[in-house]
Chains A and B, each alone.
Chain A
Amino acid sequence: MARLVSALLCGAVFGTGLWLSGMTDTTRVQGWLDVFGDWDPTLAFVMGGAILPMIAAWLVAARRRTALLGTPMPARGETPVDAKLVVGSTLFGAGWALAGLCPGPALASLGYGGTGGVVFLLAMLGGMVAAPAAKARLDRITNAPRT
Protein backbone atom coordinates (compact mmCIF):
# COMPACT_ATOMS: atom_id res chain seq x y z
CA MET A 1 0.00 0.00 0.00
CA ALA A 2 2.81 2.43 0.92
CA ARG A 3 4.31 1.62 -2.46
CA LEU A 4 1.12 2.62 -4.28
CA VAL A 5 0.67 5.83 -2.28
CA SER A 6 4.28 6.80 -2.95
CA ALA A 7 3.91 6.05 -6.68
CA LEU A 8 0.72 8.12 -6.81
CA LEU A 9 2.45 11.04 -5.07
CA CYS A 10 5.50 10.85 -7.36
CA GLY A 11 3.20 10.86 -10.39
CA ALA A 12 1.30 13.82 -8.98
CA VAL A 13 4.46 15.87 -8.30
CA PHE A 14 5.93 14.91 -11.70
CA GLY A 15 2.77 16.02 -13.49
CA THR A 16 2.53 19.24 -11.51
CA GLY A 17 6.15 20.01 -12.42
CA LEU A 18 5.42 19.37 -16.09
CA TRP A 19 2.44 21.73 -15.95
CA LEU A 20 4.24 24.44 -13.93
CA SER A 21 7.33 24.36 -16.14
CA GLY A 22 5.26 24.89 -19.29
CA MET A 23 6.24 21.52 -20.76
CA THR A 24 2.60 20.60 -21.42
CA ASP A 25 2.39 23.68 -23.68
CA THR A 26 3.41 22.48 -27.13
CA THR A 27 4.44 25.99 -28.23
CA ARG A 28 7.18 26.01 -25.56
CA VAL A 29 8.53 22.61 -26.53
CA GLN A 30 8.39 23.35 -30.25
CA GLY A 31 9.94 26.76 -29.50
CA TRP A 32 12.92 24.99 -27.90
CA LEU A 33 13.40 22.85 -31.03
CA ASP A 34 12.90 25.78 -33.38
CA VAL A 35 16.49 27.04 -33.46
CA PHE A 36 15.90 28.78 -36.79
CA GLY A 37 12.84 30.64 -35.51
CA ASP A 38 11.91 32.34 -32.24
CA TRP A 39 14.01 30.06 -30.01
CA ASP A 40 12.65 29.39 -26.50
CA PRO A 41 15.30 28.33 -23.94
CA THR A 42 12.80 27.32 -21.20
CA LEU A 43 13.32 23.57 -21.69
CA ALA A 44 17.00 23.90 -20.78
CA PHE A 45 16.00 25.35 -17.37
CA VAL A 46 13.48 22.54 -16.87
CA MET A 47 16.06 19.89 -17.70
CA GLY A 48 18.69 21.55 -15.49
CA GLY A 49 16.24 21.92 -12.61
CA ALA A 50 15.20 18.27 -12.91
CA ILE A 51 18.72 16.88 -13.20
CA LEU A 52 20.04 18.62 -10.05
CA PRO A 53 17.91 16.71 -7.48
CA MET A 54 18.46 13.52 -9.47
CA ILE A 55 22.25 13.84 -9.22
CA ALA A 56 21.84 13.97 -5.44
CA ALA A 57 19.42 11.02 -5.54
CA TRP A 58 21.86 8.84 -7.51
CA LEU A 59 24.65 9.72 -5.04
CA VAL A 60 22.42 8.60 -2.16
CA ALA A 61 21.33 5.50 -4.09
CA ALA A 62 24.96 4.48 -4.66
CA ARG A 63 25.42 4.16 -0.89
CA ARG A 64 22.36 2.00 -0.34
CA ARG A 65 21.54 -1.53 -1.44
CA THR A 66 17.77 -1.08 -1.37
CA ALA A 67 15.22 1.71 -1.61
CA LEU A 68 13.15 2.66 1.45
CA LEU A 69 10.42 0.17 0.56
CA GLY A 70 12.89 -2.68 0.16
CA THR A 71 13.23 -2.88 -3.62
CA PRO A 72 16.85 -3.33 -4.77
CA MET A 73 18.26 -0.12 -6.27
CA PRO A 74 18.18 -0.30 -10.08
CA ALA A 75 21.56 -1.52 -11.32
CA ARG A 76 23.38 0.35 -14.02
CA GLY A 77 22.18 -1.20 -17.29
CA GLU A 78 24.55 -3.35 -19.29
CA THR A 79 22.92 -2.67 -22.65
CA PRO A 80 25.41 -0.97 -24.96
CA VAL A 81 24.54 1.93 -27.22
CA ASP A 82 22.88 0.11 -30.11
CA ALA A 83 20.86 0.70 -33.26
CA LYS A 84 17.56 0.49 -31.38
CA LEU A 85 18.62 3.34 -29.10
CA VAL A 86 19.75 5.57 -31.96
CA VAL A 87 16.91 4.80 -34.39
CA GLY A 88 14.28 4.91 -31.64
CA SER A 89 15.51 8.24 -30.27
CA THR A 90 15.59 9.71 -33.78
CA LEU A 91 11.98 8.63 -34.44
CA PHE A 92 10.96 9.97 -31.03
CA GLY A 93 12.62 13.34 -31.76
CA ALA A 94 10.77 13.58 -35.07
CA GLY A 95 7.39 12.95 -33.43
CA TRP A 96 8.26 15.30 -30.56
CA ALA A 97 8.90 18.10 -33.04
CA LEU A 98 5.70 17.44 -35.02
CA ALA A 99 3.33 17.49 -32.05
CA GLY A 100 5.34 19.16 -29.26
CA LEU A 101 4.46 16.46 -26.70
CA CYS A 102 6.54 13.69 -25.17
CA PRO A 103 5.06 10.82 -23.09
CA GLY A 104 5.05 12.55 -19.66
CA PRO A 105 3.36 15.78 -20.77
CA ALA A 106 0.94 13.83 -23.01
CA LEU A 107 -0.35 12.11 -19.85
CA ALA A 108 -0.12 15.14 -17.55
CA SER A 109 -2.16 17.31 -19.94
CA LEU A 110 -4.88 14.72 -20.55
CA GLY A 111 -7.28 16.60 -18.26
CA TYR A 112 -7.06 19.85 -20.19
CA GLY A 113 -5.71 18.83 -23.61
CA GLY A 114 -9.11 18.30 -25.25
CA THR A 115 -9.81 15.83 -28.05
CA GLY A 116 -6.41 16.43 -29.66
CA GLY A 117 -4.67 15.29 -26.48
CA VAL A 118 -6.71 12.08 -26.41
CA VAL A 119 -5.99 11.39 -30.10
CA PHE A 120 -2.27 11.97 -29.52
CA LEU A 121 -2.26 9.62 -26.52
CA LEU A 122 -4.09 6.86 -28.44
CA ALA A 123 -1.65 7.17 -31.35
CA MET A 124 1.26 7.06 -28.88
CA LEU A 125 -0.11 3.88 -27.27
CA GLY A 126 -0.49 2.42 -30.78
CA GLY A 127 3.15 3.20 -31.52
CA MET A 128 4.13 1.51 -28.25
CA VAL A 129 2.21 -1.64 -29.23
CA ALA A 130 4.13 -1.73 -32.52
CA ALA A 131 7.54 -1.26 -30.88
CA PRO A 132 8.45 -4.89 -29.99
CA ALA A 133 7.99 -6.00 -33.62
CA ALA A 134 10.01 -3.02 -34.87
CA LYS A 135 12.80 -3.84 -32.39
CA ALA A 136 12.90 -7.46 -33.50
CA ARG A 137 13.08 -6.38 -37.13
CA LEU A 138 15.94 -3.97 -36.43
CA ASP A 139 17.76 -6.74 -34.55
CA ARG A 140 17.48 -9.02 -37.59
CA ILE A 141 18.91 -6.28 -39.81
CA THR A 142 21.82 -5.53 -37.48
CA ASN A 143 22.20 -9.19 -36.34
CA ALA A 144 22.38 -8.06 -32.75
CA PRO A 145 21.31 -10.34 -29.91
CA ARG A 146 17.81 -9.57 -28.66
CA THR A 147 17.52 -7.52 -25.51
Chain B
Amino acid sequence: MEFDIAWLWGLLGGLLIGGAAAGYLLVNGRIMGASGIVGGLVDGSGRDTWAERAAFLAGLVAFPALVAWLAGGAETHLTGNWAVVIAGGLLVGLGTRMANGCTSGHGVCGISRLSLRGIVATVFYILAGGLVMAVARHLLGWV
Protein backbone atom coordinates (compact mmCIF):
# COMPACT_ATOMS: atom_id res chain seq x y z
CA MET B 1 0.00 0.00 0.00
CA GLU B 2 1.39 3.37 -0.90
CA PHE B 3 0.49 6.70 0.64
CA ASP B 4 1.53 10.06 -0.66
CA ILE B 5 3.24 11.44 2.43
CA ALA B 6 4.73 14.49 0.70
CA TRP B 7 2.74 16.67 3.12
CA LEU B 8 4.49 15.04 6.09
CA TRP B 9 7.96 15.65 4.62
CA GLY B 10 6.76 19.16 3.87
CA LEU B 11 5.73 19.70 7.48
CA LEU B 12 8.97 18.22 8.89
CA GLY B 13 11.10 20.20 6.44
CA GLY B 14 9.07 23.30 7.28
CA LEU B 15 9.81 22.83 11.00
CA LEU B 16 13.54 22.66 10.18
CA ILE B 17 13.24 25.85 8.10
CA GLY B 18 11.40 27.61 10.91
CA GLY B 19 13.87 26.25 13.47
CA ALA B 20 16.76 27.65 11.45
CA ALA B 21 15.01 31.01 11.18
CA ALA B 22 14.34 30.98 14.95
CA GLY B 23 18.00 30.19 15.66
CA TYR B 24 19.25 32.92 13.34
CA LEU B 25 16.97 35.42 15.08
CA LEU B 26 17.57 34.45 18.71
CA VAL B 27 21.29 33.63 18.48
CA ASN B 28 22.57 35.96 15.75
CA GLY B 29 19.88 38.63 15.96
CA ARG B 30 19.24 38.48 12.21
CA ILE B 31 16.19 37.91 10.07
CA MET B 32 16.71 34.80 7.93
CA GLY B 33 15.86 35.98 4.43
CA ALA B 34 17.68 34.15 1.66
CA SER B 35 17.40 36.95 -0.91
CA GLY B 36 18.58 39.56 1.61
CA ILE B 37 21.54 37.50 2.82
CA VAL B 38 22.87 36.84 -0.69
CA GLY B 39 21.68 40.18 -2.12
CA GLY B 40 23.60 42.16 0.49
CA LEU B 41 26.78 40.51 -0.76
CA VAL B 42 25.91 41.09 -4.43
CA ASP B 43 25.18 44.82 -4.21
CA GLY B 44 27.58 45.63 -1.38
CA SER B 45 24.90 46.77 1.10
CA GLY B 46 25.87 43.95 3.47
CA ARG B 47 29.61 44.68 3.45
CA ASP B 48 29.80 45.07 7.22
CA THR B 49 28.33 41.62 7.88
CA TRP B 50 29.86 39.78 4.93
CA ALA B 51 31.49 36.98 6.96
CA GLU B 52 28.25 36.07 8.74
CA ARG B 53 26.42 36.06 5.41
CA ALA B 54 29.11 33.96 3.75
CA ALA B 55 29.06 31.43 6.61
CA PHE B 56 25.28 31.10 6.34
CA LEU B 57 25.49 30.62 2.56
CA ALA B 58 28.27 28.05 2.93
CA GLY B 59 26.05 25.96 5.20
CA LEU B 60 23.05 26.50 2.93
CA VAL B 61 24.88 25.26 -0.17
CA ALA B 62 27.12 22.54 1.28
CA PHE B 63 24.93 20.74 3.79
CA PRO B 64 21.91 19.86 1.61
CA ALA B 65 24.36 18.73 -1.09
CA LEU B 66 25.89 16.31 1.42
CA VAL B 67 22.58 15.14 2.90
CA ALA B 68 20.99 14.63 -0.53
CA TRP B 69 24.05 12.68 -1.67
CA LEU B 70 23.92 10.44 1.43
CA ALA B 71 20.20 9.89 0.85
CA GLY B 72 20.89 8.65 -2.66
CA GLY B 73 20.66 11.83 -4.69
CA ALA B 74 18.07 14.50 -5.38
CA GLU B 75 16.54 16.07 -8.46
CA THR B 76 15.33 19.62 -9.05
CA HIS B 77 13.46 18.75 -12.30
CA LEU B 78 14.30 22.23 -13.56
CA THR B 79 13.12 22.85 -17.11
CA GLY B 80 15.70 22.45 -19.88
CA ASN B 81 14.37 25.53 -21.64
CA TRP B 82 17.24 27.99 -21.11
CA ALA B 83 15.19 31.06 -21.98
CA VAL B 84 12.70 30.18 -19.24
CA VAL B 85 15.48 29.39 -16.72
CA ILE B 86 17.25 32.71 -17.38
CA ALA B 87 14.05 34.78 -17.43
CA GLY B 88 12.96 33.08 -14.20
CA GLY B 89 16.29 33.77 -12.50
CA LEU B 90 16.39 37.42 -13.57
CA LEU B 91 12.82 38.02 -12.35
CA VAL B 92 13.40 36.23 -9.02
CA GLY B 93 16.61 38.21 -8.36
CA LEU B 94 15.22 41.58 -9.43
CA GLY B 95 11.82 41.13 -7.79
CA THR B 96 13.01 39.86 -4.41
CA ARG B 97 15.55 42.69 -4.05
CA MET B 98 13.02 45.33 -5.13
CA ALA B 99 10.56 43.97 -2.58
CA ASN B 100 13.32 43.50 0.00
CA GLY B 101 12.42 39.89 0.66
CA CYS B 102 11.32 36.52 -0.65
CA THR B 103 9.57 33.40 0.59
CA SER B 104 11.81 33.11 3.67
CA GLY B 105 12.11 36.77 4.69
CA HIS B 106 8.61 38.03 3.86
CA GLY B 107 6.88 34.64 4.00
CA VAL B 108 8.30 32.76 6.99
CA CYS B 109 9.79 35.61 9.06
CA GLY B 110 7.27 38.32 8.10
CA ILE B 111 3.97 36.47 8.40
CA SER B 112 4.98 34.95 11.76
CA ARG B 113 5.30 38.45 13.28
CA LEU B 114 2.16 39.65 11.47
CA SER B 115 4.14 42.15 9.41
CA LEU B 116 1.84 43.91 6.95
CA ARG B 117 4.64 44.13 4.37
CA GLY B 118 5.32 40.41 4.67
CA ILE B 119 1.67 39.52 4.25
CA VAL B 120 1.17 41.88 1.28
CA ALA B 121 4.34 40.60 -0.42
CA THR B 122 3.27 36.97 0.05
CA VAL B 123 -0.21 37.64 -1.35
CA PHE B 124 1.29 39.32 -4.43
CA TYR B 125 3.96 36.74 -5.22
CA ILE B 126 1.53 33.86 -4.83
CA LEU B 127 -1.17 35.58 -6.93
CA ALA B 128 1.35 36.57 -9.61
CA GLY B 129 2.83 33.07 -9.53
CA GLY B 130 -0.57 31.43 -9.93
CA LEU B 131 -1.51 33.76 -12.77
CA VAL B 132 1.78 33.32 -14.65
CA MET B 133 1.58 29.57 -14.12
CA ALA B 134 -1.93 29.47 -15.58
CA VAL B 135 -0.86 31.45 -18.64
CA ALA B 136 2.62 29.94 -19.14
CA ARG B 137 1.52 26.34 -18.66
CA HIS B 138 -2.07 26.15 -19.86
CA LEU B 139 -2.15 28.81 -22.58
CA LEU B 140 1.43 28.98 -23.86
CA GLY B 141 2.78 25.55 -22.86
CA TRP B 142 6.14 27.01 -21.77
CA VAL B 143 6.55 25.24 -18.40
| B6 within 8 Å of A (CB atoms) | yes
| Nearest CB in chain B: distance from A54 CB, A | 4
Whether B102 pairs with A15 at a CB distance below 8 angstroms is: no
The residue in B18, B25, B64 that gathers the most chain A C-beta atoms within 10 A of its C-beta is B64
The residue in B84, B89, B137 that gathers the most chain A C-beta atoms within 10 A of its C-beta is B89
Known contacts: A3-B28, A25-B76, A85-B120. The answer to whether A20 contacts B12 by CB under 8 A is: yes
How many A residues, CB 8 Å from partner? 117
| B7 within 8 Å of A (CB atoms) | yes
Whether B108 pairs with A13 at a CB distance below 8 angstroms is: no
Which of A8, A42, A96 meets B125, CB within 8 Å?
A: A96
| A53 within 8 Å of B (CB atoms) | yes
Complex A-B, nearest 7 residue pairs according to Cβ-Cβ distance, in ascending order? A49-B14, A111-B65, A21-B13, A127-B93, A123-B89, A95-B91, A99-B88
Q: With contacts A7-B56, A52-B18, A96-B103 known, what are 18 further pairs, Cβ within 8 A?
A: A21-B12, A26-B79, A27-B77, A34-B130, A45-B11, A54-B25, A67-B30, A85-B100, A102-B104, A103-B104, A108-B64, A112-B76, A119-B86, A122-B89, A123-B85, A123-B86, A134-B94, A134-B98
